[in-house]
Structure 1
C-alpha cells in the first residue's frame, strides 16, 4: 500500500462557518463524511482567513501572501500580473494544478495588455486563473440585472442544464436557484423569503453534484501524473435555496440561537454600527429570516457532505486515498444573524475563523490521526504545506510565501517558534458603510491582530476595537475605549505595526541569494571607497594594473 503524498485534493466551500459541522460540535447538523475525514487527519480549530471576503481571502490562499502584499483587497479587485500563484509553485515540481469551481479572481487585464500577454494563450489563461489550468471555472454567480451580467463569462453549467432539458438563457437562476412561485412566476432565490421552497432543478443536476462529477472527470482523465485539484464549491453561499430533499431536511427547530446581545447595539463602534445597518444585517437580525434561511444553509452543507462521500468512495476504489493529501476548508464564514449581522466582512469568529481539516496519508502522520490542534493557523499556510508535501522546501520561497508549512503539526511535532498572533484585513471601500461614514476609499480599511486571548481591530480614522475572548468568548463587549485595557491595545497595536513593516515586496530575490551575494561585487570589479590599493586583496586589482 502506497503511503506517501502523490496528489493533493484541495476542497474549499464558500461561506461555510467553522462551527457548522458535526465534528465541530453542531448539535443537529450531521456531516458524517467530513467527520470521517477529520477522524483520519487533523482538525485545526483556530484557523483564520487573511480577509473575511471571497476574493481577497482566496487570493491569499492562492498566493500564500497577506492581502496587503498581493493587493487584491476585495471582490473584483484584480490580482496584479507578476504575483506568483499556486500553479506557478507546483507546476515546476511536475504537478498538474487544476481548478474545478470557483476562484473569484479578477485578472489584471490592463497589466496583461501592457505586457503583450494574450489572454487566450496558455500563459494568459494561467495568469487569469491563479496559476490553475481551469478544467472548469465557475464562480457560481450568474445574476443578470439592468446593467447586464455580474459575470460576463457564460458557465458551461448553463449549457449542461440546457442539454438536460432546462430551457432558457440562464437556467442557473431559473432552475438551480429559483423555486416555482404562484401564478406561474418564479420564486427567485435572491429573495430569502423563498429559501425553504424546493429549487426547480433535480438534485443530481444541482451545482454541488455537478461540480463533484466534474472533479471525478478530471481524476479519471489525469492518468498517473501527480496533480493538485482545487475543488471549489460555491455552496453554502447564497442564494440560499436547495433542491429536494435538502430544502426541508432541517427545520426551524434545528436553528440554534443567535449569538447576539443588546449590549452590542447600545453604543457600537461607528464602523460596526454601519455594518449592522446594511440591509443584510437588518434582515438577519429578524428571527423569521434566520428560521427560514438557516435550515436551508444546513441542507446545502449536508448536500456537500453527501457528495464528498461519493467522491471519497470514488477515490478509494482507485487507491487514491492512500496517496492523496486532502484539505477541507472554507474561504470565510457567515454571520447568519450573530452579532446582528449577515454575510461576512468583519472579524467576529463566525466570519473570520474557518473550518480546516488536513488528511495526510503518509506514515509520518499516523500518530496524529483524529486529533484536534488549537495552534494559530492562517490560510496562507496551505501553499507552503503543499510544497512541503511534494518534497520542496518552502523556505526556498520565504521571500514570497508569508505562511508556514503545517507538516510539523501533522507529524506530531511542536515547533517552538510558531506564531503567537494572526492577522487579517478588510477593505470596505465599496460598501454603503464607507459612504455613510464619509470615509475615502484609501482609508476604508480594517486590520485584525489576534492572539490566543485578545482580538484587536484597528479601524483607520476611528478608535480601535478590542475583545477578550477568554472572559467574553461570544465577543459581546468591545473594550476598545475602556482605559483599563490600554496596555493590551498598545501591545497589539505594536504587533500590528511590526507586521505592517515586514519585508513583503522584495519578491525577486531570496534571503539565501542575498547572503550568497554579499561581497561578490568586489570580485566583479566594483571597488567602492578605496583610497589605496593596499586596502583590499591584491587579486582584485588584476584587471586594473595594466602592463608595460
Structure 2
C-alpha cells in the first residue's frame, strides 16, 4: 500500500451511534455500512465536539474547538483564515473533493445577529477583530437561482472540487437544486408540501413527497461521488473525497419505496419520558408543551412527541438511513471499479446524533444525552485487520490529527485534537475525557436565556454545567448508562462531582488557544 493512501470520508447528518445494524440496532437495515465495520474498526465511544452541525463540522476540519476556530454555533461561518487538514492534504499533492453537504458557511436567508445586543459598540470599531473582507455567502441560496452551475473559489477550505448540497431532506438546495431543475420540469411540484401524497402519519415534519428516488438528494450525492471516483481511475495522485449526506436529518421525507419500508409498530420507545427520575427544566417544559398539544413552528426546534409519533419518526428515519446505506454500497462498488479499493482508507461518521425517542424527544437541543453526543465512527484501513471495536474515548476534534498522522503529514501549529491512530492499531486511546462545547443560537423552552454549556464525558460519568444558570447535571454512566437520574444535588455524589469539576477545569484549560513561546524560553 502507498504511503499516501486515498481517503473516502462518508458522513451522515443527525445519526445516532446505535442506529446501525453493526451497532446492534434490531430493526434498521444497513448491510453495506455493516460490511465496513467487518473490514475495519468501529468506535463505540466516539463523541462529538459539539452536538450542533456547523460547529462540529468546523471542529472536524480544523482539529480545533469551536471556541477557538471561530465557528461556535449554527449561523456563523468558519473564518476564511482557518486552515483545515484538507489544506495540508492538498498541499501534499492530494486531489480534494467535497460532495454533498458542507455547512461551513450559513446556507439560509437569516442574517447573523449578536447575542449581546444590549451592549453599545464603538461606532468606528464595533467588533473585536477588524473585518477580514472574506465572502461568506458561497452556500447562500442566491448563488443557485440560475441554470448555470455555481463555481466555487478554489480552494474552498482546501477543496478543489465542490458539488454543494444545502439544507435537508427533500428541500435541499445548492448544486443539487440546479441539477434537479435540469432533470425535471416537475421539480417545483415535487418540492411543494401542499402537493404531497396521502399518508396517515401524525408525527410533525412527516412529508410524503412525490420526488422520485432517483431525483432525491441522496441519489444526487451518490451519482456525483461515483462519477468523481471513476475519474480517479487513471490518476497517480491520491485523493481525499468528503461525501456528505444531509439525511437522515429531519424533516422525515424518505422517497418511493423507502417511505413504507419500515412499519412503526416494529419499533419500541424503550426510554420514555417517565424513565427520567428528576428531569431538568427543559425536559419538564417540553413535556408540558406536548401535553398542551403545542409543536414548535421552527422546524429546527426539538420537541417531545407521543409514543406513536416517535415510532413513526423512527420508521421514516430508518427508511432514510437504508437509502443512504444503499448509496454507500454503490459508491463502494465504484471505488473498487476504479481500482482504488486496496489503497483507500474509508471513514464512516456523522456530525451529531438525534434524540430519536430518548425521553420521548425528537431532533436535538440543549439537553445533553448520549443519543445526541455519541455518533457512529468506522475506520477501514487496508493495512489493519478488520472486525474490531475500539472502546476507549475519542472525539470529532481528533479526526484531523489522526488523518494527518496516518498520511505521514505534519499538522499546523494549534491543532487541539489527539490522534486516535493507536486505537485503530489495537492499542489504548489518547483520552481520559471528552470535552463537548455546546453553544446554542436561540432560547429554548424551560430556559430563560440562550444556553451556553460545557459537557464532560469520562468512562464513568457525564457532567453538564450551564453558564449563568444555577443548575447542572451529573450522571453515572456505569450504573445508569441511559442517564435517567441526575446526581447533581445528591450528597452521596459529592466526591464524584468534585472530581469531575476538577477534570472539567483541566479540559477547558486544555481547550484554550495556545500561543507561541518566546524563543529564549524554548
- In which range does the TM-score fall when normalised by the shorter chain? 0.7 to 0.9
Distance 1:275 1:59 in 2: 30
Higher RCO (C-alpha 8 Å, min separation 6): 2
Superposed CA RMSD: 3.2
Find out whether 1:173 has 2:180 as its counterpart. no
SS of residue in 1 equivalent to 2:259: helix
Give the secondary-structure state (helix, strand or coil) at the position aligned to 2:166.
coil
The partner residue of 2:421 within 407, 418, 421 is 407
1:93 deviates by: 1.4
1:452 matches 2:459:
yes
Task: Show the 5 A alignment for 1:301-316.
Answer: 301-316=321-336
Q: C-alpha displacement at 1:429, in angstroms?
A: 4.2
Q: Deviations over 1:18-76 (max 9, x none)?
A: 11111000112121111111111000000000111111111111111112222322211
Match of 1:206 in 2: 216
Which SS does the other structure have where 1:332 is aligned? coil
Distance 2:161 2:128 in 1: 21
Comparing 304-313 and 344-353, the one that deviates more: 344-353
Q: Which residue of 2 aligns with 1:493?
A: 501
Q: 1:12 aligns to what SS in structure 2? A: strand
In structure 2, the CA distance between the partners of 1:31 and 1:120, relative to structure 1 (3 Å rule), is closer
Any unmatched runs of 5+ in structure 2? 113-126, 139-150, 290-294
Verify: 1:133 aligned to 2:132, yes or no.
Answer: no
Work out the CA distance in 1 between the residues paired with 2:425 and 2:270: 37
- Measure, in 1, the Cα distance between the counterparts of 2:76 and 2:136: 18
The residue number in structure 2 matching 1:299 is 319
Whether the 8 Å contact between 1:241 and 1:296 is mirrored in structure 2 is yes
Q: Deviations over 1:166-208 (max 9, x none)?
A: 435x56733xx786346xxxx999x8457374x3122122111
| 2:407 counterpart of 1:390 | yes
Q: Is the 8 A contact 1:178 1:188 kept in 2?
A: no
Q: Superposition pairs for residues 358-437 of structure 1, below 5 Å? A: 358-362=379-383, 365-366=384-385, 369-394=386-411, 397=412, 399-414=413-428, 418-433=430-445, 437=447
Kept in 2, the 8 Å contact 1:260–1:476? The answer is no
Secondary structure (helix, strand or coil) at the match of 2:475 reads: strand
C-alpha contact (below 8 Å) 2:170/2:216 kept by paired residues: no
8 Å contact 1:327–1:358 — kept in the other structure?
yes
Aligned partner (choices 334, 337, 340) of residue 320 of structure 1: 340
Pick from 181, 184, 199 the counterpart of residue 162 of structure 1: 181
Matched residue of 1:249: which SS? Answer: coil
Q: Does 1:250 align with 2:262?
A: yes
CA drift at 1:134: 4.7
Q: Which residue of 1 aligns with 2:239?
A: 227
Counting helix residues as a fraction of each chain, which structure ranks higher?
1
Classify 1:134/1:171 alpha carbon distance in 2 versus 1 (closer, same or farther; 3 Å): farther
Aligned CA distance change for structure 1 residues 50 and 126 (closer, same or farther; 3 Å): farther
**In structure 1, what is the Cα distance between the partners aligned to 2:196 and 2:169?**
19
After superposition, the Cα gap between the structure-2 partners of 1:419 and 1:314, relative to the gap in structure 1 and judged at 3 Å, is: same
Q: Closer, same or farther in 2 for the Cα pair 1:22/1:4, shift >3 Å?
A: farther
Greater Cα offset, 112-121 or 238-247: 112-121
CA contact (8 A) 1:5 1:361 kept: no
Q: CA distance change for structure 1 residues 484 and 256 in 2, over 3 Å: closer, same or farther? A: same
Q: CA deviation at 1:459?
A: 1.4
Q: Cα gap change, 1:332/1:284 in structure 2, threshold over 3 Å: closer, same or farther?
A: same
Note closer, same or farther for the CA distance 1:291–1:117 as it changes in structure 2 (3 Å cut).
Answer: closer
Is this contact kept in 1: 2:74–2:441, CA < 8 A? no
When residues 178 and 61 of structure 1 are mapped into structure 2, their CA distance, relative to the original with a 3 A threshold, is farther
Shift in CA distance, 214/171, structure 1 to aligned 2, threshold 3 Å: farther
Instruction: Say if 1:178 and 1:249 are closer, same or farther in 2 by CA, change over 3 A.
Output: farther
Instruction: Give the structure 1 partner of residue 122 of structure 2.
Output: none
Match of 2:120 in 1: none
1:325 to 1:412, Cα distance in 2 relative to 1, 3 A:
same
What are the superposed Cα offsets for residues 290-326 of structure 1, whole Å, 9 maximum, x if unpaired? 1322111001111111111111111112221111111
> In terms of Rg, which structure is larger?
1
Asked if structure 2 preserves the Cα contact closer than 8 Å seen for 1:117 and 1:124, the reply is no
Distance change in 2, residues 1:193/1:454 (3 Å): closer
Measure how far apart 1:114 and its partner are.
3.4
Scaled by the length of structure 2, what TM-score is found?
0.83
* 8 Å contact kept, 2:205–2:251: no
Asked if the contact 1:196/1:247 (under 8 Å) is kept, the reply is no
Structure 1 gaps, min length 5 = 145-150, 521-548
Distance 1:455 1:211 in 2: 36
Matches of 1:179 and 1:360, distance apart in 2: 46
Deviation (angstroms), 1:16? 0.9
Could you tell me whether the CA contact under 8 Å between 1:424 and 1:448 is conserved in 2? yes
